[in-house]
Every structure is written in structure tokens, then in C-alpha cells.
Structure 1
Amino acid sequence: MFNRRLVLASLAGLSFLTTSAFAQDWKAKYPELVFAIIPAENASGVTERYTPFVNYLSKELGIKVSLRIANDYAAIIEGQRSGSIHIASYGPASFARAVTAGVKVEPFAIETGIDGSKGYHSVLWVKKDASYQKIEDLKGKNLCLVDPNSTSGNNVPRFAMNKLGIDPDKFFGKVVYAGSHENAVIGVQQGTCDAAFNWWNDEQESNLLRMDRKKMVKAEDFRMIFKSEQIVNSPIAYLAALPADLKKSIRDAVYNVHTRDKAAFDKIYEGKQGPLVPVDVEAYKPVIELIKFVDTLRKKSGS
């Protein structure tokens, strides 16, 4: 006599064994994953901020996850191209650069604001007591940018200045790539630069406020003279070649870190941002087009 319950139980058992086998397959191939972060601040600050998060990922995935702090944005891109970086936290422009360079990566999570917004701005800081009121007042002065692949620290500023008819490499006395958002602000503080572009979410959170909380500078010593239109927030991307079940496990861990390990999540964002939520490459198509446009500007100016 046909025993339906026995057949269903056998199929369920087979499904469990198959799923477990697949999980063991990817764990055998990927006994360790590398999570890399762009250098928005000094290395010790990044390590302190992200170590609890990678420890959380290790626990959730059941394998070792290592933190790598890249020397610059290009190192993240090349690390994912070579396959030595499995998961990376990008800026929008550096992710767009990876895509245009043919790196096989997929964005899967995006940062959000406390209000649920998915964007931020590029702003230009000068010293509070400086006479400058707008970008045009800085002719012949020194400008601090962040990195060639920084969204708010280079690409959006160059696009905005082009709209004003300004070629930065001819308009300013000197254009300095500071290497990080923090270094750009310090450049203004120390007088190396007269102005610096930086990221700014809203009145409650920005790189400047973060530096103030770390007692690196006083936010009240600076004044904003430019704010861009909203830029889509930063993504986290993994290698397209990773197994589907591993990607699913990564997504599940990242989307739920704000509840499963609130302390690790708050260590990164200090209670100033909302949860990480799903995203795909469509959200970054405007930034990809921006990168192509900025490349055209560079070729025209010969920089």
C-alpha cells in the first residue's frame, strides 16, 4: 500500500541533506571571506568601527570573515576584480567605477537615514571666519578633494563646478587629494587648503560631526558654502560569482544586523542611521552616467 507520509518524510529528509550538502560545498570552497571598507577615516577608526560587524558576520555565516582596510578606493575595486575581496562597502562613485571597469560585483544593501531616506550630499567647508561665501570666491585658492573615486569628495564636486563653468585644475591655485574625508577637513583646519569637499547626510550627521564627536575638530569652526543635490547612498556589494546560497546567507545577516546585533550596528553608525536595506544596480545607473561624464571632463582638461 502506498504510504504517502513515508514518501513525504523521505523527500523532506532528502531536501535537508541536499541543502546541507550545498552549504558544506560553499563552506569548503570559501572557508574565509574578506570584507573590505573604503578609507573614509583613519585606519584605526575604521578598525574600531567595523570589527564588531565582521565578527557578527563570522558568527552568522559560520566561517571566518576578515576585515581589510584598503589604502584607497582603487584598491577595493582591484581587490574585487582579483577575487581577493568577497564583500565590500563602497561609495556610490567607487562602485560605479567598478562596474564601468568590468568588475563582476552586485550591490545588495544600501545605507538609509533615520527617516528612511537613501541619499546624502556633497558639501564644501571653509573656516567659519573666512570671507568666502560661494565657490566662485575661491579663485586662486587651494582646494582639498578626497580621492579620485570619491563621490562626494571628487566626482559630484567636479560635476557641480562644471555647471558653474569652473575647471578646478585651472581655477584653483592648487587641488590636493587628501586621501580621506577626515584628512580633507584637517587640511582646512591646518591651512593647507582654503576649502574641502566632504560628505553630509543632514543636520544630525556628517563626517564633520563625526570628527567633532571624536574630538578631532570642532564643527562650529567650519561653515558650509555649497551643498549638492542628493546623491544615492553607499552600497555593500559582493562578488557575482559567489554561490547563490552564500549570497542569501550574507544578505540575511546584513539586513538583520540592526536587530540581531544592535551593538555592532550602532558601533558603525552611532545611532545616526537606519537599517541596511535591499538595493540593486538600477539605483546606481545615474552615478554610473556621472562617472562617464566626469571621465570626459578629465580628458578634455588633460588632468
Structure 2
Amino acid sequence: MATLSTGEKKALYILNIIFDIRVRQEAGQATFMVVDDVADSFDYKNKYAIIQYLKDVAEGDGFQQVILTHNFDFFRTIKSRFVGYGNCLMVSRNSDGITLAKAAGIDNVFVNDWKAHFFNDSKKRIASVPFMRNLIEFTKGDGDAGYLKLTSLLHWRADTASTTEAELDEIYQGLFGLGQKPVDDRTGSVVNGIYAAASECLVAPDGANFEHKIVLSIAIRLKAEEFMAGKINDPSFLASISQNQTPKLLKRYTAQFSGDPSVKVLDKVVLMTPENIHLNAFMYEPILDMSDEHLRKLYGEVVALA
């Protein structure tokens, strides 16, 4: 056993479980199984084989299963193969304990939820910005005016503060041509709406809160970049940054204000926020695994810098 790798040990362990299950099946013994992260350390081919086996067991008589996993892709595949959406739960943990809630956002949360609520839910509206920017990048390129405008809502640029809700509406309509435009005043600043939505997230109930994590991450990074840009006070330097803006601002800020306590907070911004903003189908797990409790705390720390 000592010479076996972690994956080989797990494979042997699973073989022992399969043998035990077979014995119980032949004996007609009623069995309640707790399956905990059984697919870890395996490639996709073996993960699918495990899922098929669990499905076969579930369809037989006498076996009930509770399947636990940290792997969102495994979770989503299990749901699609044999566990109904209504039987899927998500766990969230904070300083007060652990809560279970009905699963949400398993199947294309942007198309099935956020896009439909773009005009009537401020947090889902803001959370849609990274997706919209990705779509424009894929279809029109990163030089498109809409792409650049949305980038100014994810990074602090010269036009960030002046970008209006009406401009964001126009980009949405240009992409999808869907939804009823609001009739209220649309001249307000989007960034002010982002900060207001982030404040709402601070007092929201605990849960998976996909959109809350994205809103908080966007607000944290904008606040941090706004703070650094103001302290550095070099508009030409800010305008010259074409990529990796937050790390470059932090590098310049650290050089000018070496030893300032704010650097520690700003380091956390660079560490914690990007994966929650540059979001795609392969990057769900960071947003699932990290509680928004940490983002709430960091937002408060960044706001306090000003």
C-alpha cells in the first residue's frame, strides 16, 4: 500500500466499496450510502464511469444515496444524469455555522436567470456585465466600443464615473434586443449603482449568492483602483494601462507609498477578486467555494481606505 499513489489508493478503495455494494445487492439488504467526493483524483473518463455506476445503483432496489462534492462540474453532471434539480442542495458556511439551500445557477445562470432580470434586479444587472463583455469580445473583438465601455465598469478608467445606466442599457439592447427598457431616469452613474448594490449585498441573507459575489468583487476592485488612481494622481499612467490594470496600479502605488498599511488590503483585492469577475463556464468553482463573507469583509476594508 505504501507504494501506491493517492489516485491508486482511491481506486482500490472504490473497488472495495463496489464489492461491498454488490454483496448487499445480492443479499437484498436495504442500504443508505453517503458518497463523499468520490470523483476526486480521477480524470474525466473515470469520473463519468463513476457517475454511471452511481446512476445504476440508484435505479436498483434497496439503495438510497446522499452524494457530496466540492467539484461543481461533477455536481452539475450528477444533476443532469439522474438527480433531479429539486433534490440538489448547496451548502454555505459562515461564522455562525452551516446552512443548506436549494441549488441555484446550475444550468447557465446568465441565460436562465440574470439576462431575464437585467432591467429589474440591480445585482443581476451588474453581474451580467462580465458575461456581456465576453460575448462582445468573442463576436466583435476587444477594440469594440461596447467592450471598452464595459471594461470601464470593471476597471477604473477616465470614463468610469461618467458612464450612465442608459449607456449600459444600450449595450444590452445591441447584444440581445430583448427586454423592456425602464421608463425611469437613466442618467445616473452605473458605478454609483454598483456601490449601492454592493451595500445591499452586505446585509443580504447567506447563501450561494452567485450574483452577490460578482457584484462585491466588481465593487471591491473599482473602489481599490479608484483609491490607487487618486493617490497616484497620474492620468497618463492610468490611460497607458491596457491589461492587468489592478496589479500594475498596485505596483506603482506600492513604489510611491511603500510601507503604507493600505498595501496589505490592496494585495487581498488582487488575490481574491479576479476569478469572480473574469467568469466563464470553467471558472464556477472559485465563486462557489469562497463564501461571500470574505468579500463582504474585504469590501468594508476597501471602503475604509477612502
TM-score class normalised by the smaller sequence? under 0.3
Q: Where is the helix percentage greater, Structure 1 or Structure 2?
A: 2
Structure with the larger RCO, 1 or 2 (CA within 8 Å, 6+ apart): 1
Structure whose alpha-carbon radius of gyration is higher: 2
Q: Where is the strand percentage greater, Structure 1 or Structure 2?
A: 1
